[in-house]
Structure formats: structure tokens, C-alpha cells
Amino acid sequence: MMHVFLLMVYLGTGDERKLVSNNMYFYSIDRCNYFASQVSKRYGNFKYNSYLDPKDRVTSYCLPKYINTKNIEIY
């Protein structure tokens, strides 16, 4: 058993918000936060974020977890 950081990724906002990933574990909070920031970036023809459809908005963050490491890959 050990403490790790779980990357949570949600797509959409409000009632339309859906969990799309909750299975990536990291030894380091810095590494987890790096990937959280990268997966929530958007590239495209959007001059302003307000033009991005709310269903396409991404929220990602890291949660501390205490897990059994025998069955889980940790990055």
C-alpha cells in the first residue's frame, strides 16, 4: 500500500459533465499536475474560450489516494 496521486479528467460542464478518465496514477504530484494541465489544453480556431462549446470543456485535477500497488501501474 502507498500514497499516490490519481488524475481525474472530466468533459463538459454542469449537468452534462462526465468523468472520462480516472485510472492514471502518479508517484509525484508534480508529474500528475503536469499531465492534468496538458490534457486540459485546447488547440483550434478559438480566439476566446467563450467560443468553445461547454460540452467540449475539460476539467482535470489530481487527488491523493492510498492504494494497493500490486494490481495498478503507477507512472
Q: Is the pLDDT of residue 46 over 80?
A: no
Q: Is the pLDDT of residue 35 over 90?
A: yes
| Average pLDDT value for the chain | 90
pLDDT band of 44, cuts 50, 70, 90? low
SS3 state of residue 60: strand
Contacts 24+ apart (CB under 8 A), 35-42: 35/7, 35/60, 36/7, 36/9, 36/60, 36/61, 36/62, 39/7, 39/9, 40/9
pLDDT band of 49, cuts 50, 70, 90? low
The grid cell for 35 is 499531465
| DSSP secondary structure letters along 18-33 | EEEEEEEEES-HHHHH
Q: What's the whole-model pTM score?
A: 0.85
Burial of 15: CB neighbours in 10 Å, binned 0-12, 13-18, 19+: exposed
